[in-house]
């Protein structure tokens, strides 16, 4: 299966690796195959001297609606490390800049991944949602640590415990994004920054990122592991099982790609 068939489109130009969510019919809901493709791409980018920057983006309408419920439920029951966990580790360990262009909904892991990006450019239509508690779950991707540090405990509690969506301008005020532009300008703005970074000294860029982040890498990886343990436990509880059952009941059997957070987008 090619990356494009898996829902991820890769392209490289001038030292910039672009990773695009490409599953528009399902609001770019992330499958395990997509996580595997992303994990492999980020891991390769970390050591490939021809790649200096990674850009993550969706379309002008949607970044990603979160996990795809069909194969996510199956992956939870499978043995071994899930592709989603591999992707998280690869991102946390990435030494090169990670830039995001975000339009429309960024739900669940679509929002938490932004906490690991060095630069985030958001379209005016962007919304960040952390609906874990509403789904009977807990935060993931180290976000229970990183979001509170970024915005303060009270604001993090509002985003996590109440699950209230955060608009692009609210995200800018909270320091979650660098700039808000028109949806048709977001990717261009992100690419402008990425190209500037790619032209800079790679050693200087990577050293600067390391100096800013190295102290919390081990702590973040430990938090990811702790969150994943609790996340797996909560998946077995009645509230989470009811949420899954509700989504599966509403899914079209002919098109089994329902996003786990689809209800949050309504």
Poorest-pLDDT segment among 20-34, 42-56, 76-90, 92-106: 76-90
The stretches of 123-201 forming alpha helices (DSSP H) are: 143-151, 153-161, 168-174, 186-199
Q: Compute the distance between CA of residue 117 and CA of residue 37 in angstroms, rounded to an integer.
A: 18
Mean pLDDT, the chain, whole residue set: 90
CB 64 within 8 A of CB 110: yes
| Paired tokens of 228 | 């994943």
Instruction: Look at residue 257 and tell me whether its pLDDT is greater than 60.
Output: no
261 pLDDT more than 80: no
Digit-coded pLDDT (tens) for 187-239: 999 999 999 999 999 999 999 999 999 989 999 999 999 999 999 899 889 99
Choose between 94 and 262: higher pLDDT.
94
Determine the CATH number of domain 8-183+202-265.
Answer: 3.90.226.10
In angstroms, the CA 118 to CA 67 distance is 23
Mean pLDDT over 38-61 rounds to 98
pLDDT higher than threshold 50 for residue 253:
no
Whether the predicted pLDDT of 18 surpasses 60: yes
Strand residue runs (E) in the chain: 8-13, 16-21, 53-57, 98-102, 105-107, 119-123, 127-129, 166-167, 179-181
Task: Please tell me the distance from the alpha carbon of residue 173 to that of residue 256, in angstroms, as a whole number.
Answer: 38
Q: What is the pLDDT of residue 2?
A: 55
pLDDT exceeds 60 at position 161: yes
Q: With 60 as the cut, is the pLDDT of residue 244 above it?
A: yes
Is 266's pLDDT higher than 50?
Answer: no
The secondary element (H helix, E strand) that includes residue 53 is strand 53-57
pLDDT tens-digit map of 119-147 = 999 999 999 999 999 999 999 999 999 99
Query: Where in the chain are the domains?
Result: 8-183+202-265
* Residue 68 to residue 251: CA distance in whole angstroms: 11
Q: Decide if 260 contacts 29 (C-beta within 8 A).
A: yes
Average pLDDT over residues 10-14: 97
Tell me how crowded residue 230 is: count the other CB atoms within 10 A of its CB: 14
Q: CA Rg, the chain, in Å?
A: 17
pTM of the complete model: 0.91
Q: What percent of the chain has pLDDT over 90?
A: 78
pLDDT in tens, 66-122: 987 665 555 555 556 789 999 999 999 999 999 999 999 999 999 999 999 999 999
């Amino acid at each position: 299966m090619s990356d494009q068939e898996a829902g991820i489109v890769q392209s490289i130009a001038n030292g910039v690796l672009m990773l695009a969510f490409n599953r528009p019919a399902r609001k770019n809901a992330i499958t395990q195959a997509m996580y595997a493709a992303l994990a492999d791409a980020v891991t390769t980018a970390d050591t490939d001297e021809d790649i200096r920057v990674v850009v993550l983006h969706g379309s002008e309408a949607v970044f990603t609606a979160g996990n795809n419920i069909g194969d996510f439920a199956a992956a939870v029951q499978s043995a071994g490390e899930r592709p989603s966990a591999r992707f998280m580790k690869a991102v946390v360990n990435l030494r090169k800049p990670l830039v995001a262009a975000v339009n429309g909904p960024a739900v669940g892991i679509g929002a938490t991944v932004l906490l690991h990006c060095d630069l985030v450019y958001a379209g005016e239509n962007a919304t960040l949602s952390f609906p874990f508690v509403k789904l009977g779950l807990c935060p993931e991707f180290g976000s229970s640590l990183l979001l509170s540090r970024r915005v303060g405990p009270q604001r993090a509690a509002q985003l996590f415990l109440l699950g209230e969506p955060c608009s692009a301008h609210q995200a800018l005020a909270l320091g979650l994004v660098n700039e808000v532009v028109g949806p048709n300008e977001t990717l261009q703005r992100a690419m402008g920054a990425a190209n500037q970074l790619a032209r800079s000294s790679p050693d200087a860029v990577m050293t600067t990122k390391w100096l800013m982040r190295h102290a919390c890498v081990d702590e973040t990886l430990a938090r990811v592991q702790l969150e994943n343990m609790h996340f797996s436990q909560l998946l077995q509880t009645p509230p989470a099982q009811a949420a899954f059952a509700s989504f599966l009941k509403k899914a079209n059997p002919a098109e089994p790609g329902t996003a786990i957070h689809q209800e949050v987008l309504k």
